[in-house]
Amino acid sequence: MIYQEYYQKANFEKVWAILHEVYGEKEDSKPLYNKVFDAIRAKGIDQSLANETIKIKLRLFGDKKAQVEGAPDPQEWLVDRKVEIVGFHIHYMTDCFVNTVTAHLLYWSTLYGIKTRAMERAEFQKWLTDITAGPNYTPIVDTASNMERERIGDINAESCDRKKLHYWKQTILCDGPYNWSDNLVILQKKIEYNIGYFRLTQRFEGWEHTVGQMVKACKLISIVLGHDRQETQPYVNARNYTRFNMEPPSPKSEYPTFSEYWKEDLRKAKAYKLLWQLLSKDMKEWWD
């Protein structure tokens, strides 16, 4: 099923029970989740995103929590995307299963706040209007409204803090002090975290380019780590191997596939060098 179909078939009260009991979300956040839940169910399909092929992958762990792979996109980008469940076999769609998956999707898609992209934009526009109105602008002081805004802000902040702990948990548990590649796993996870935030807020001109550079960095890390497996061997220019501290392949190797392994290592070496060039040139521009 696609993302939105889970919400349309789910029961919010049962979804909320999972958010509350499994993830520890507080009772005062329930109305915010309900508002997002209803917004996703009613959201129209954006045909401009119909060519998106990113799948949402869930890995369910023994503690009943799930982990979504990659950068979480705004709700509006997700509605028509296929949900791919990883980690167990699905024999048939029960109501319980639909509610469970929907709860995990709702939880992780609100990693940066219990809101949709449209809600985030409206909040930011209101703030921008207040600070740029000029010296003669006299804002209408609504104490009750301001207190409610602060209360919702506190609820979101506490929820985001809990989610950050869950977001990093599996990465930290799988980390080791003996392998250089684990450093890149953590770096990739952090860049993915930034990607999701920039896609949600979109607060400055040129954010698409910034996100594009982050995506490139994650792609390069995947190549270095060997996580970028492809059915056919990609072309690798082997003539400049000395620039990447590579020894030439042995012409007398007894193994016919040796040259393919060598090209794969060369591709990783190139990606490693390009990664640090990209970060050195662009990373200081990755701020909002």
Q: In this structure, are residues 274 and 237 in contact, taking their beta carbons and an 8 Å threshold?
A: no
Claim to verify: residue 164 and residue 187 sit in the same structural domain: no
Instruction: Look at residue 262 and tell me if it is in a domain.
Output: yes
pLDDT value of position 50: 44
pLDDT value of position 65: 79
Claim to verify: residue 27 and residue 170 sit in the same structural domain: yes
Claim to verify: residue 15 and residue 41 sit in the same structural domain: yes
- What lies within 8 Å, CB to CB, of 48 at 6+ separation is none
Claim to verify: residue 30 and residue 83 sit in the same structural domain: yes
Q: What is the mean pLDDT of each run of 10 residues along the chain (288 residues)?
A: 92 96 95 96 67 58 74 86 72 81 92 92 80 64 76 93 90 88 94 93 90 95 88 76 78 59 88 95 87
Instruction: Look at residue 196 and tell me if it is in a domain.
Output: yes
Claim to verify: residue 170 and residue 48 sit in the same structural domain: yes
Q: In this structure, are residues 213 and 282 in contact, taking their beta carbons and an 8 Å threshold?
A: yes
The C-alpha atoms of residue 202 and residue 209 are separated, in whole angstroms, by 11
Claim to verify: residue 107 and residue 244 sit in the same structural domain: no
pLDDT value of position 128: 76
pLDDT value of position 248: 76
Claim to verify: residue 105 and residue 197 sit in the same structural domain: no
Claim to verify: residue 204 and residue 157 sit in the same structural domain: no
Claim to verify: residue 170 and residue 186 sit in the same structural domain: no
Instruction: Look at residue 147 and tell me if it is in a domain.
Output: no
Instruction: Look at residue 128 and tell me if it is in a domain.
Output: no
The total of structural domains in the chain comes to: 2
pLDDT value of position 133: 64
Claim to verify: residue 188 and residue 95 sit in the same structural domain: no
Claim to verify: residue 191 and residue 170 sit in the same structural domain: no
Instruction: Look at residue 245 and tell me if it is in a domain.
Output: yes
**Domain residues for 288?**
179-288
Claim to verify: residue 160 and residue 241 sit in the same structural domain: no
